[in-house]
Amino acid sequence: MSWIDPSDKIKNLPVYPFVKLERIKAEAKKQGKDLVDFGIGDPDLPTPEFILKAMAQAVRDPENHKYPTSAGMPSFREAASRFLERRFQIKMGPERIVSLIGSKEGLAHFPLGYLNPGDLALVPSPAYPVYKTSTLFAGGESYIFPLKEELGFLPDFEAIPKGLLSRAKILFLNYPNNPTGAVCDLAFLDQAVYYAKKYHFWVVQDAAYCEVCFDGYLAPSIFEVKGAEDCAIEFHSLSKTFNMTGWRLGFAAGAKDAIDTLAKVKSNIDSGVFQAVQHAGMVALDQGEQTILEMRKIYQRRRDLLAEALDSVGLKYLKPKATFYFWVKAPKGVSSEQMAGALLDQAGIIASPGSGYGPEGEGYVRFALVVKEDRIQEAAKRLKNLDL
């Protein structure tokens, strides 16, 4: 019996999928298994040297040892503004940008600024778990809408009851998509903005993977759509773009009201990103174009290798045009957990069960391309031992 029971919010919260995965990995390693780990989307590539040099210089400056501001240094927000203009040809002034301790932090805090108890958020399934949990922590309710394979894992807005669209305050989107690897075009984002304006809700677009693109595809920004600046906020991350997951740095850009509200929430919860990290982030955003191109080539080679491996054993999947995720279908009658278990037990391969990303994730597993090419080739050999 605990000294004091946790809140109902915590008691009703399932174990975070990646925490469960780490426990499984730790147990397998205790048993001496050599694992090929496609589980967690944490890049194995190092942070580029030019970013490390900028950090080393900035960390020695006593001015960076003080409390930062929760909204972020003006110079960092200006660098983010320049990045958005170069990449998407959109003008987003620094006053419409806020720095984040990683985009996950911002996504988790945004609903606190807008949801009262009982208010509704539209949450996709499968999806990054933070959309649903942040709604729960804010006291809101989630309406779970499915992302179906036959629709390219894009939402069908017409299938959402009109009454729920009218009640909603937030719609969560994530393209390029984790966990499915699906992508969208500007026509889809235009449709999302149309519904947001018609029914008066915020579009929260999680763009963490917008730079991990292949085959000539470039992910759009929602702000390339006319009118989005009134009803949308877009979350960007330096984690996957520059291999900076542990640094915890990102930014949100968008409607001034949304940015100001998020900044107000953050000012009461955190004290912002360590300024030396922001200095390193400025250099990454301003000078990182070649790094992005090299990163894309590496992941595209890995993608093609894993595709060959999956093809060789007849497993079905969505070949991603973006992100470093493969959304692999389990054979008929095999659950996500069963398939993930078989991969681990029979082949020493770790993949994430799709069921951890919501009810529509059942029947899939997710592979993250965060292992080197020789290990993907090793996984290809091991997959031939799989008996499902």
Joined together, the tokens standing for residue 146 give 């499915």
The chain-wide mean pLDDT, for the chain, equals 95
- Which residues partner with 353 through β-bridges? 365
Q: Is 123 a residue whose pLDDT tops 90?
A: yes
pLDDT, average across residues 225-250: 97
Joined together, the tokens standing for residue 38 give 């496609």
Residue pair 213/219 in contact (Cβ under 8 Å)? The answer is: yes
Joined together, the tokens standing for residue 22 give 């780490």
* 362 closest CA partner among 19, 125, 15: 125
Question: Which domains does the chain possess?
Answer: 8-46+290-383 (3.90.1150.10), 49-288 (3.40.640.10)
pLDDT digit string, tens, across residues 292-302: 999 999 999 99
Joined together, the tokens standing for residue 47 give 């942070």
Element (H, E) at 141: strand 141-146
Band (21; pLDDT cuts 50, 70, 90): low
What are the φ/ψ torsions at residue 58 (nearest 5 degrees)? -70, -30
More confident residue, 174 or 32: 174
